[in-house]
Amino acid sequence: MPTQSPSPHLPFGANKNAAWYGKDIISVMQFSRADLEYVFGVAHEMRGMVERVGTFDLLKGKILANLFYEPSTRTSSSFTAAMERLGGSVIPINEVRYSSVSKGESLPDTIRTLECYADVIVLRHPETGSAAIAAKAARKPVINAGDGVGEHPTQALLDTFTIMEEIGRLDNLTVTMLGDLKYGRTVHSLARLLSQFSNIKLNYVSPDILKMPKEVMDEVAEKNAPQAEFSSLEKVLAETDVLYVTRVQKERFEDPADYEKVKGAYVIDPEIMKAAKQEMIVMHPLPRVTEISMDFDDDPRAAYFRQMEYGLYVRMALLAMVLGKA
């Protein structure tokens, strides 16, 4: 019986010479196209392993500290599931008001404390730049799980992996981003990542007060990726291969009146989607409120729950990489 060749992505035993061993993951700007292809190769291996055996001991004996200063369902639970699927353990801190943060402890002190107990730290924090501050304080790897309105690199990686798995390519695509593009850190990171691929066209559809930030558009422009802004989805829906919908985030508005003006600006439902291609996908980082009707959930183009599952495999890959196991 022929023996199966070893995986090029999953060595056993810590490899301190691995490219991502001990590194922080703070921004999508750290990832070249070759890096992305490697991450997705590892994630694909992880998907196969989960489907075949469920859990395995790649990270047995390793501990993750999950430190969340903001509410989270998907990111927090998927990192927990990723670590446990790999045989590791998790210190969950999802309610910082029950930690020494409530006593005024600084972020660097909290990070230095947790790294005494853990091998890797996942951080979500409401302030832009907080992940970089944490990484500077830490000796162990820090993974940014969202820093205010800044970036959400692991979400952008799973989003890109979703497009690859669902459509089969990352070149020659029209991607339309819809909704809150000003405060939506997921679209900031995703636009930066997608600009690395060939013949990518980015459409930005939003109310005037929620436009994509200029600094993000300037970075994308440096990669010569075509971009266009619209207030109406109807103008671009028919050409769209990937429709990425975002929630208008009430918690980011200083003036509640501004939120009320735009909260229901766009709603995706079966009627609107009649104008879209049959071979396309609709994505959403979730949670949603009213921006995608539940009546659309059974449409095969609705990829947002499959997207969440792909996130598990990407986060498994990232944990294995920074801990020298991939």
For 124-137, write each residue's pLDDT tens digit. 998 999 999 999 99
Q: Are residues 166 and 303 both part of a single domain?
A: yes
Measured CA angle at 220 (ends 301, 216), to 5 deg: 90
Same domain, 296 and 316: no
Indicate whether 77 and 47 sit together in one domain. Answer: yes
Looking at the structure, tell me whether residues 280 and 171 fall in a common domain: yes
CATH code, domain carrying 78: 3.40.50.1370
Q: Is residue 202 part of a domain?
A: yes
pLDDT at 52 over 70: yes
pTM score, whole prediction: 0.89
Q: What is the DSSP secondary-structure string of 113-158?
A: HHTTT-SEEEEEESSTTHHHHHHHH-SS-EEEEEETTS--HHHHHH
Question: What's the total number of domains in the chain?
Answer: 2
Banded model confidence at residue 101, pLDDT cuts 50, 70, 90: low
Asked if 143 and 252 sit in the same domain, the reply is: no
The average confidence (pLDDT) of the chain is: 90
Confidence of residue 266 (pLDDT cuts 50, 70, 90): confident
Domain identity same for 176 and 101: no
The verdict on residue 207 lying in a domain is: yes
Does residue 195 form part of some domain? Answer: yes
pLDDT at 1: 44
Query: What pLDDT, on a 0 to 100 scale, did the predictor assign at position 259?
Result: 59
Question: Is 287 among the domain residues?
Answer: yes
Instruction: Assess whether 174 and 123 both reside in one domain.
Output: no
Residue 143 falls inside a structural domain: yes
Q: Are 143 and 123 in contact (CB under 8 A)?
A: yes
Domain identity same for 81 and 144? yes
21 lies in some domain: no
In a domain, 101, yes or no: yes
Do 134 and 57 lie in a common domain?
A: yes
Confidence at residue 2, expressed as pLDDT on a 0 to 100 scale: 47
Asked if residue 235 and residue 90 are part of one domain, the reply reads no
User: Among 27, 50, 3, which Cα is nearest to 320's?
Assistant: 50
Residue 36 lies in a domain: yes
What average pLDDT does range 229-236 have in this prediction?
A: 95
Neighbours of 184 (CB within 10 A): 26
> Is the same domain home to 184 and 100?
no
Do residues 32 and 124 share a domain? Answer: yes
Closest CA to 78 of 309, 302, 284, 317: 309
> What letter represents residue 84's amino acid?
E
- C-alpha to C-alpha distances, 238 to 114, 175, 268, nearest whole angstrom: 49, 11, 14
Q: Which domain holds residue 78?
A: 28-152+311-322
> Is the pLDDT confidence value at 288 over 80?
yes
